[in-house]
Amino acid sequence: MQLRMTNQREIILRELRKSRQHLSADELYDRVKLIMPRISLATVYRNLEILSEAGLIGKLEISGRQKRFDFDVSDHDHIYCVVCHKVDNLIIERNNVNVDRLGTAAGYAITGYRVEIVGICPECQKKAKDVPKNIE
């Protein structure tokens, strides 16, 4: 299937790549609307799904949170901040993970995998340290 690259799709793709972040559709809509004031949120959602299905961007569905879209379609993993909900790439030595053995133990034929790590990002850790403690 040949994907027709419309002006809207080009701008959405360009803004996602330019951000170098894992944006939600709402965050991307705010950026694209500055360039295309008449674009609707529904159009951004629809085009993100189309671009994802075409393999031009990645779609992250992390722990039931709002979907985020990834400019980097290579195999990689993510770390998620439970405070501010920021998502970052996580570099894991994938050669050391024996997913075939894990899948075989559960009776699955493994076709791929993703690792999702959760924690508190450096910025949120710093904010927590900067908050004065109540003295009783």
Strand partners, 81: 119
Supply 67's token pair.
Answer: 């979907």
CB 58 within 8 A of CB 70: yes
Determine, yes or no, domain membership for 56: yes
Q: Which domain holds residue 125?
A: 75-131
Q: Please check whether residue 136 lies inside any domain of the structure.
A: no
Q: pLDDT confidence of 136, banded at 50, 70, 90?
A: very low
Domain harbouring 100, CATH code = 3.30.1490.190
pLDDT at 95: 73
- Angle formed at CA 124 by CA 134 and CA 58, multiple of 5 degrees: 155
> Do 57 and 13 contact (CB within 8 A), yes or no?
yes
- DSSP reduced 3-state for 107: coil
pLDDT of 22 > 70? The answer is yes
Tens digit of each residue's pLDDT (9 = 90 or more) over 60-113: 887 667 789 998 888 888 888 888 888 888 888 777 777 667 667 678 777 777
Residue 12 belongs to a domain: yes
User: Beta strands 22-24 and 58-60: pairing type?
Assistant: unpaired
Mean pLDDT score of the chain: 84
pTM, two decimals, is: 0.73
